[in-house]
Structure 1
Amino acid sequence: MSRIFKTLRPSQSQSTQEEKEESRTLLSDLPATRRKWLSDSRVNIPLAILITLLLGFLVWLSLSTTINARSHNTPSYTDCGKNYSTAVAAGCVFDVLATTWVPPECHNATLFNEYTSRLPKPLFYRWPNLTEPLSEDPKELVTHETIWSYGEFHTAHCLYLLQCGALAAAKVSAGHRNVLANNHATSLWHIAHCTKNVFNSMSYPENNTEIKNAARSSLFCKVLPE
């Protein structure tokens, strides 16, 4: 066995030497820069993988930071659900002017009290001829499919919600962040509906209106922050 091994060793050594010579020949035929890249491939490939992983990590970190910042800056509010039971369980406020439940975070109690204190009572009735007065308690109101109120109530309802939206917009314009408003106050459809209702219900007093400095000033646009 030892003789065979000794016989094979020179042949193996010769083969290795020929492979080295062939490798040198192949490299010598390539441009210098490519020869260097091939010769350093064992270093370049792991380095490229490392750089790719590092860039991927930085991109992920940037995206996650942006997402977390957005989620952190988005104010949370109560979900009232879709019916009486879920709204009561969530601790929502029954707004008699909106005749619906409102999350407490976007209920303007000051404005609400100002309007309701000036409306004649009772607000609601069982029948369209305004007979059989009803309580403002939502426990009673929820038992009726339809209830009725006087025409001025609809006007007050609209003015109240229009003012809620206007106050929210004014806060945003003044630089406040995370301003909350109920979705009726910010609905384009509801704004158009209520504007039309208020205009149609307007009465025109006999006394004249004085207007000063007409066409002598101008308004300007404001960009509202997101």
Structure 2
Amino acid sequence: MYEQITQRSSFESLPNVKDMPKRRFWYLKVEEISAVVLLLVATFGIIDLCYQAYSSIRTMDHNHLHATTQREPDISCNCGDTITEALSNNCRYDSLAAAWLPPACRNDDLTTAFEKAGSNHDGSWPYFAEVNMTRPLSLEEVSMLPDTRTGGGEARNVFFTTHRWHLVQLYVLLEENVPVTRARNNN
């Protein structure tokens, strides 16, 4: 039932470290080197993220301090809650912003140029009361949607227009704001 074992320990049958092939050690070295390189890259990434965050915060603080030395008066673009309030606050409908705005918050020349760059035969933009674009609206009707509620959407104060309108609007707004941004960055 039992057999006598000729060896005293199972460790005697294990290969000696000197007998192991050198390739196995090379594989372990490559694995260790890869782990060290990966750890260094990760550490550099974390340091870089921290530096970027610090630089961003420091730049914002610098710009904020610089801006307070040349403080402009606070301007409110609020025209009220109704068209009647907007008119009493000297506000006009700005089709470029699609909102009622006071004089300090709008560029009438830019808005006029935008209104003449439309895809209609007279240069105006097409506006619609429904997403399927079957019920046209004039610009005057669009400006009165907050009161008349003849548009689309749940609140019935939404207008629809073409994709081109949106692209041109974004382009004009970008062109208007980029020189200001460039001037700020150059100072």
Q: TM-score, normalised by structure 2?
A: 0.47
Q: TM-score, normalised by structure 1?
A: 0.40
Larger Rg: 1
